[in-house]
Each structure stands twice: as C-alpha cells, then as structure tokens.
Chain A
Amino acid sequence: MLKLFFHTGRYFLLMKRVFSRPERWRVFFRQMVREIESIGVSSIVIVLIISIFMGAVCCIQMAYNLENPLIPRYLIGYGTRETMLLEFSSTIVALILAGKVGSNIASELGTMQVTEQIDALEMMGVNSACYLILPKIAAFVFFIPVLTLFSMAIGLFGGYIASYVTNGVTPHDYVVGITSMFRPFYVTYSIIKSFVFAFIIASVSSYHGYYTNGGALDVGKSSTHAVVYSSIVVLLFNLILTKLLL
C-alpha cells in the first residue's frame, strides 16, 4: 500500500515537471512531429489489422447469437456498430496500443536513463522530463482521435466483409443495421475516452521508463511494468468514464 502511495506521488511530481514551459517551442514542436510519426502514424497498420478482425468477428458472433426469426437481421449490423463505437475502437485499441506504444516509450526512456543520456540533459540545464515526455504525451493525445475514428471505420468494414463471405447476415441487412438509430454522441464518448487513455498510456509508460534503475534487464522490466500498469489504469478509467458519460 505504501508503495502505491510512493509511486502515485512520484508520478504526479513527474507530471508537474513534464507540464512546465518548454525551453524552446521550436524544439518542442519538432519533437512532437517526430513523435506523431513514431507513436501515431506507425500504429496505423496494427490498428487496421485489429479493427478489421474485430469488426468481422463481432459481426459473426452477433449473427450466431441472434438466430431467433423474430429478431430482425439488421440488428446484427446495428449491434456490431454499437460494440465498435462504444467499446472496441477506444478501449480494445487502447489496450493494444498500451502494448505497442507503452513498451516503446518505456524502453526508449529506460535506455536513455541507464546510458546516462537523461543525466546529460539535466547536466546541461534542460528539464529532461519536459523535453522528453511532453512531446510524447502531446503527440499521442493529438493523434489518438485519428486512430479511433480509423478503427471505427475499418471495424465496420470488417463486419461488412464478414457479412459478404458468411451466411449470418446479408450485406444489405448489415448496411441497414449500421445506418440505423445512429447516436452521434457515441462517437464523442469514444473519442473522449481515447483522449484519456492516450494520456494514461503515454504518461504511465514514461513514468516507468524515466525511473528505470540499473541495466538492460531493468529496461525490460520497466517496459513490462509500463504495459501492465497502463493497461490496468486504462481499464479502471474505462469504468469510471462509462459511468460518468453514459
């Protein structure tokens, strides 16, 4: 319990240092663009693969579970859309990205810590936390809506492919389903969640990377901790935000 308080306190102290004025705005924006490329753009392929399969599986499972002839078939498309919008495109994608982006951030910062690169920055009088972590958080929070919206579109397309190649639902019924009873707030809800998740993943992973002690083995441990703890916090906040927003 004491450890939890220690880490929580140290996390907030780190965030205080992170959210200070950058030394040079020009350098900050350049770093941010680099991070958008390395954290955001490079995640598009994994999001595409996950989303297309999630959408397809969701559609097949809906069809499998809604076999009652009294239930209209278009509800399969409707259910797939709601599942993608409400949960999969934000939470599941966030959990996958916690693995990819979280471990990437933690191992990068951890390596910089054990090779004294962070000390070198501090030595020069640079606020290393702000210089290294702020562009990562800003880039990920900035780019996450793109990934979420992309995941929604691709997931629905995955469902369409599934309807096309299987007998569960006709493509026509599926399209009717995904265009029925649409509530735009669900997209807003999903994007709000993804903003929070992006912040959690980037900041928790940065925390674990930044405070790495020791050598290569410890960088691996930090990377694992980053993925595990950011996933747990994402799930916790998923519950809190769902209760608050819906």
Chain B
Amino acid sequence: MIEVRNVYKEFSGHYVLNDICAEFEPGKTNLTIGQSGSGKTVLLKCIAGLHSVSKGDIFYNGRSFSVMNEKQRKEIRKEMGMVFQGGALFDSNTVEENVMFPLEMFTNMSFEERRERANYCLKRVNIVNANKKFPSEISGGMQKRVAIARAIALNPKYLYCDEPNSGLDPVTSIVIDNLIHDITIEYNITTIVNTHDMNSVMEIGDNIIFIYKGRKRWQGNSEGIFDSGVEELDNFVFASSRMKQIRNLQNRK
C-alpha cells in the first residue's frame, strides 16, 4: 500500500502540488485524473522517487520514502515498474532486449531464462513476432505494450502508468486499459494510472483521485464521479462526456 501524506512540490518558488493526501491499495487500479498541467505527472514522479518532495512524505507499506537511504531506495525501486507517457523504450535495443534489460541488471538468470521470461511477458501483452524489431519499427500502441511488458518483467509490487493512452486510438486505448487492469488483479499490484481519458475512468477506475491546480479535490470510485458535487470535476467530466456525445452523434449520422 502506498500512502501520500501532505505532499508539496515546488519548482522555482511555484507550488505544483499542494497538500496532497491519498492512499493507493494493492490489487486496485488507482487513477489520478485531471487536466493537463494539473500536477498528475509530478505526483506520480514524486511517488516513484524520480522527484523529491518539498514537504510531506510518501510511505511504502508504512516505510517512509524520504528517510530511506540510497541503497534502500534502490531496493524498493526494483519492486516498481513504470510505463512512461512516450513508452521510454531504449532506442538502441530490440523489443526483446528492452524487456530483458531489467532481468539482466537485477537477476542472475541465464540468457535462455531471461529470454523465456521476456517472451512470456511479451505474450502476456499480446506482442508476437516483434521480438527482434526496434522500437522505431513498431506502432505507438505496441510500444506502450512493450513498455508494460518491461515494467512487469521483474514481477513488481507497484506499477505506475503515466497517460498510457496518450496518442492512441480509442480501440487501442481500451486494449491498454484492460491489460493494465487485468495485470493489476492477476499479480495483486498497486497500480497508479495518470489519465484524462474518461473512458479509462469508467472502464477501470477502482479508486479515482481528481487533481485540480495541484490540489486534490475529490477521491472516490467511478460510480460516484457524477455526484461528486465538485464543480471543477463536473466540468472535467462534462467536457469529456460532451466529446463522447459528439462522437455518438457523428456515429449515428
């Protein structure tokens, strides 16, 4: 379980995160939603330890992240997997080598064992016959799936996904959403997904946090999102729903 307690993050005198408190439970797909620039990515990077917090603390199963030394942080990072917005696959490595990378760095598996595990992870995310291709030779959706395969290669306890649907078509987005949700349940991972896609919210949101201008304005599940009573969230949901209605109308025509 991850607990975020009164977290502030400041960049050059400007507070991007203001007094954020949240809890993320294992086996659940936790979503952080909000407009672009609301602070979702910064929060996720603070949780992952890529940014240090200015004030407050983050706890991993009750262990404070800020008091951990570099060695302890390194150990806990091995339990994390992250899917970046652009995939962040290593350009100079093939798809298979990308997935094998964490295994090579942190396990004593033989080459064959690593390859077997990489192939299993790639199959799990429905990537076949692309093992020897380079990231530049596969589509954006496939890159995201390879990134998920790399993130789960070491059986992580925590999975972070920063806008996994950005730049993807709606059909591929649903595939990615379902994949993240299924993996979360299958491996009992604590998953945090940043998104501003309402389809994702309704499909996989077990626990949703709405962030507006760096502040947490609402927390709940997908059923309660329409009765939140928070004006900014209503506007966010309404804007997304209106887009959906427009799409529906166009489909009817």
Contact = CB atoms under 8 A, between A and B. Distances in A.
B43 interface: no
Given A24-B105, A119-B50, A124 B77 contact: yes
B15 interface: no
Contacts of B48: 123
Interface string A112-139: 1001110110111110000000000000
Given A116-B88, A117-B91, A123 B104 contact: no
A24 B104 contact: yes
Nearest to A30: B104
- Interface of A (DSSP majority class): helix
B207 to A, nearest CB: 22
B90 A117 contact: yes
Contacts of A122: 50, 77
B125 interface: no
A23 interface: yes
Contacts of A117: 88-91
A117 B92 CA distance: 11
B50 A125 contact: no
A120 B84 contact: yes
Contacts of A192: none
A41 interface: no
B156 to A, nearest CB: 10
B63 to A, nearest CB: 16
With most chain B CB atoms within 10 A of its CB, the pick from A27, A111, A123 is A123
Residue among B80, B81, B88, B90 having the largest count of chain A Cβ atoms under 10 Å: B88
A128 to B, nearest CB: 11
Given A27-B105, A126-B105, A120 B88 contact: yes
B74 interface: yes
B106 to A, nearest CB: 7
Contacts of A124: 77-78, 80, 101-102, 105-106
Interface string B69-98: 000011101101110111011110000000
B152 to A, nearest CB: 12
A123 B86 CA distance: 15
Contacts of B77: 122-125
A125 B68 CA distance: 14
Contacts of A123: 48, 50, 77, 80-82
A211 to B, nearest CB: 15
Given A24-B104, A27-B105, A117-B90, A125 B74 contact: yes
19 contacts: A24-B104, A111-B91, A112-B91, A115-B88, A115-B91, A116-B88, A119-B45, A119-B82, A119-B84, A119-B88, A120-B84, A120-B88, A123-B48, A123-B50, A123-B80, A124-B78, A124-B102, A125-B73, A125-B78
Interface of A: 23-24, 27, 111-112, 115-117, 119-120, 122-126
Interface of B: 45, 48, 50, 73-75, 77-78, 80-82, 84-86, 88-91, 101-102, 104-106
Q: What 4 pairs across the A-B complex have the smallest Cβ distances?
A: A125-B77, A120-B88, A116-B88, A116-B84
